[in-house]
Amino acid sequence: QTVVTQEPSSSVSLGGTVTLTCGLTSGSVSTGYRPSWYQQTPGQVPRTLIYNTNTRSDGVPDRLSGSILGNKAALTITGAQADDESDYFCLIYMGDGISVFGGGTKLTVL
């Protein structure tokens, strides 16, 4: 069974740029997989950031962007701020109505 992979952890300096990725154990992520990205801080409800690969949800600043990089979906954060320190999850559409979340990336802002 195909698993959705994310870096378990990543770090970025305050004001810096970081890219989180979302891949598959078998195959490549393309726009057809409709990747979306969610931010979650401990004890809070997930917040939708990006859908359809690169469309920002309402209220999401343009320093967050989604793309396909190589064979993975990517979430890039530029000008990192302290409140970007969160867990980030991607969701991939596997077809036949089924979706799968990645294991999440814990982002630390240094």
Partner 1 sequence: QVTLRESGPALVKPTQTLTLTCTFSGFSLITNTMSVSWVRQPPGKALEWLGRVDWDDDIWYSKSLKTRLTISKDTSKNQVFLRLTNMGPVDTATYYCGRLRTTSNSFDYWGRGTLVTVSS
The residues that touch partner 1, with contacts defined as CB under 8 A, are 1, 34, 36, 38, 40, 45-46, 48, 51-52, 55, 57, 89, 91, 93, 96-104
CA 31 – CA 26 distance, rounded (Å): 16
Nearer to partner 1, 48 or 76 (CB): 48
Phi/psi at 62 (nearest 5 deg)? -75, 0
Nearer to partner 1, 34 or 68 (CB): 34
Min dist CB 14 to partner 1, Å, is: 26
| Residues paired with 22 in a beta bridge | 6, 73
